[in-house]
Structures are given as C-alpha cells and as structure tokens.
Amino acid sequence: AGKLDGYYHEGNSKHLPRAVLDKLTMIAPRVSDAIGLREAGLIALGVGCALLGLIGPLLMMFGAPRSYLRAVGEPASPQGTLA
C-alpha cells in the first residue's frame, strides 16, 4: 500500500473510517438521451441477429416467384408422347 500511495486498513479488527469510505464512491452512470457507442453496438447486434434468423423463412416464403416454382415443379415430358 505504501508503494502505490494507498491506504492500509486492518478490516478484521476495526471498521473503515468515514474518509476512506468517501473515497470509494461509485462513478455515477451517464445520464443522457443520446445513444452511446455501447447502445449503438447492441442495436446493430440485435438487427444483425434478427436478419440472420429471419432470412431463411423469408426466402422460403418470398424467395422465388410462383410462376418459376410451377415451371420447376412440373415434370418434364418429351414432346409428342402422351403421359
């Protein structure tokens, strides 16, 4: 504690002095209406995960036009033969 300009206290035998407790206060959180870098990152992460999770079902529902699906779904028959 002496090398780091700290304060040594024997906490097992006595309570911390009030002056030491006043130095140990927490930093107040930032109170602002603007979106910070952390919040912007969390929003980007959420949007990216939502896109990744929904791309499969959306492509299955809206990925190919129905006319193409009908053309691909019909079996190819050679011309001139009746099935």
Q: Tell me: the pLDDT tens digits for 25-60? A: 666 666 777 888 989 999 999 999 999 999 988 888
pTM of the model: 0.42
How big, in percent rounded to 5, are the helix, strand and coil portions of the chain? Answer: 50, 0, 50
